[in-house]
Structure 1
């Protein structure tokens, strides 16, 4: 039963993240990406963090880890094309990556 609750909690968090990103996007992009695409992008962001070693990086003196957003965007664009999901404009994907980071920051501020 505990594992099922973990999955439900992850789904709820993903839904909150997607809603935050939708509100974060500029007006012209709000209707461009559906929930499935945003979920796919979030999965790719997580995949990038795992594969890049960022999760193992040591924070700087202020407690931050430097993440190159352009590298994250490049990874998403490359993987989406490779997976035949579609070709995406890096400038548009950057808003999604920034939105995901802003959501993470907002959670830290609430804690």
Structure 2
């Protein structure tokens, strides 16, 4: 598979993830975040996973890797402020992170 095809598949998966997250969000947050913000959050979630060592962590006896969603949220809020994307309420961003995690669960990627 070529690099261009990889990018197209990643874009399609991101679109599906964003749609899932938008459906996952509580009603009062559905209009709160733009698609661009959600894509930005997804990028930061991926960045957090790759920089934190989570992807290299060994699963426990049941096959699970413990991911502290509050740490992921704190990373997003900190980076968004640093990148001058805005200041976000951690409680609201937590729903986005949970939605991304649930999407992975629905694909069987994460338990």
**TM-score normalised per structure 1:** 0.96
Q: Which residue of 2 aligns with 1:67?
A: 67
What runs of 5+ residues in structure 2 fail to find an aligned partner? none
Taking only aligned residues, the RMSD between alpha carbons, in angstroms, comes to 1.1
**Cα deviation, residue 2, structure 1:** 1.3
Q: Which residue of 1 aligns with 2:91?
A: 91
The structure in which a higher percent of residues are helix is: 1
**Cα deviation, residue 58, structure 1:** 0.1
Distance 1:59 1:67 in 2: 11
What runs of 5+ residues in structure 1 fail to find an aligned partner? none
Distance 2:2 2:46 in 1: 23
**Cα deviation, residue 3, structure 1:** 1.1
Q: Which residue of 2 aligns with 1:5?
A: 5
Q: Which residue of 2 aligns with 1:102?
A: 102
**TM-score normalised per structure 2:** 0.96
Show structure 1 runs of 4+ deviating over 6 A.
none
Matched residues, number: 109
